[in-house]
Amino acid sequence: MTLDNKSNSGQLPTDPAEKPKLTRKDFLSGIEPRWCVGCGDYSTFNAVTRVFVNSGIAREKFALISGIGCSSRLPYYSNTYGFHTIHGRAPTVAMGLKIANPDLNVWVFTGDGDGLSIGGNHFIHLMRRNPNMKVVLFNNQIYGLTKGQTSPTSPLGVKTKSMPYGSIDRPMHPLTLALGAGATFVARVPDTDNDMLFQTLTAAQEHKGIAIVEVLINCVIFNDGVFAPFTDKATRPDTTVRLEAGKPLIFGAQSDRGIRMRDNRPEAVKIGEGGVSASDIIVHDPANPNSGYAFMLAEMGGAELPVPFGILRQTSEYVYQPAPGKPTPEGFAKVMQGSGAWMHEANGSIRSLEK
């Protein structure tokens, strides 16, 4: 039970002859997932299990904890330990499990309603405590399992069953919330890019501390196509920017556009036009100690700026870890006696045990 979670180092079992290498099939519970055909939850689940296989960590060392909602059904489909808890509260159960059993790889699966609305408080505190735990936030900007109500990430004005005249609630950015709460690994990926999902979730698994990965999920039934501008092959190069540590923020079909800072604001520019050179473009530094840079990335989007995909921030900070107890019989007697105790002797005399 040490701070350094050995199983997170990606080492294979010491005796491969005894334990044959696991395949993805070993991580499937055998229960057929019951998500809608075409739902983004499938590709995410696929990537998660591939990350588990690739980690070389034994199956029993994983515990998947979820709340309530479509995404929260995921633990039932994985042949690991799992707990489908109650709405919004997965982080709380995950915390207790991780404290009781620090060697486990604890993953939390949640959605925009589960994690940000009813479970918003727990989400904040999970981020700020920074336990060595992973969170996958399935953001489809809608309540799916209750059949289509406004969620905390639904855009203003969008018509839903609960707000048929258009949402009057301003949406929140999941990642600025995570950053504000002190998250040490913050990433965003679309459900359509299997490689990016795999790479990002692998990086999350290897991160020491809390990792939050927002997956943009297409809800084919209640919010179909809401992320299409960022996932369609035709538009994606111009609407998104891939974040890679040490590389400039360049995007566009011709890779000729980039993000530079001007008047303390990010600006999309074309390299070679208006005196803009490649050296003007921001170079991505996820380890930037000032979280302002990551906030800027998290808020990018809209008509002017591309939406960033990849790891926005990854820093190394204090990881939550309670002191391991060392109970001894002598210690127990001392605890029970407390202060101010006295002794009744067999001969009827009394003496104070205060030193």
Partner 1 sequence: MSELSVQDSRSSMNGNIGSKKTVKEIISSVVRFAGDSGDGMQLVGDQFTNTSAVAGDFFATLPDYPSEIRAPAGTVFGVSGFQVCIGGTEVYTPGDQYDVLMAMNPAALKVNLANMQKGGIVIVNEDAFIQKNIEKAGYTENPLEGAAASSVNLVKVAMSALTVKALEGSSLTAREADRCKNFFALGMLYWLYNRDLNYTMKWIEKKFLSKPSIMEANKKALMAGLAYAESHDAFTHSFKIAKSGVTPKPGVYRNISGNQAAALGMIAAAQKSGLKLFLGSYPITPATDIMHELAKHRDFCTVFQAEDEIAAIGATLGASFGGALALTTTSGPGFSLKSEFMNLAMIVELPMVIIDVQRAGPSTGLPTKTEQSDMFQALYGRHGESPLIVLASSSPKDCFDTAVEASRLALKYMTPVIVLSEGYLGNGSEVWRVPSLDELAPIPVKFRTDPVGFQPYSRNPETLARPWAIPGTPGLEHRLGGLEKEDGSGAVSHSPQNHEKMTKLRAEKVAKVVQDIPPTEVYGHANADILVLGWGSTAGVIKHTVRKLNQDGLKVACAHIRHINPLPSDLKPLLQKYKKVLIPENNMGQLWYRIRAEYLIDTERLNKIQGQPFRADEIEAKIRSILG
Q: Which residues contact partner 1 by CB under 8 A? A: 29, 31, 58-61, 63, 65, 68, 75-76, 79-86, 89, 91-101, 103-104, 121-122, 124-125, 322-323, 325-329, 331-333, 335-338, 340-346, 348, 350, 352-354
87 or 242: whose CB is closer to partner 1? Answer: 87
303 or 350: whose CB is closer to partner 1? Answer: 350
Q: CB of residue 258 vs partner 1: minimum separation in angstroms?
A: 41
Asked if 184 contacts 316 with a C-beta cutoff of 8 angstroms, the reply is: yes
246 or 329: whose CB is closer to partner 1? Answer: 329
Q: CB of residue 192 vs partner 1: minimum separation in angstroms?
A: 28
Q: CB of residue 179 vs partner 1: minimum separation in angstroms?
A: 18
Q: CB of residue 32 vs partner 1: minimum separation in angstroms?
A: 12
Q: CB of residue 184 vs partner 1: minimum separation in angstroms?
A: 18
Q: CB of residue 110 vs partner 1: minimum separation in angstroms?
A: 13
Q: CB of residue 150 vs partner 1: minimum separation in angstroms?
A: 23
59 or 208: whose CB is closer to partner 1? Answer: 59
168 or 346: whose CB is closer to partner 1? Answer: 346
11 or 337: whose CB is closer to partner 1? Answer: 337
103 or 224: whose CB is closer to partner 1? Answer: 103
Nearest to 14 by CA among 54, 57, 49, 52: 57
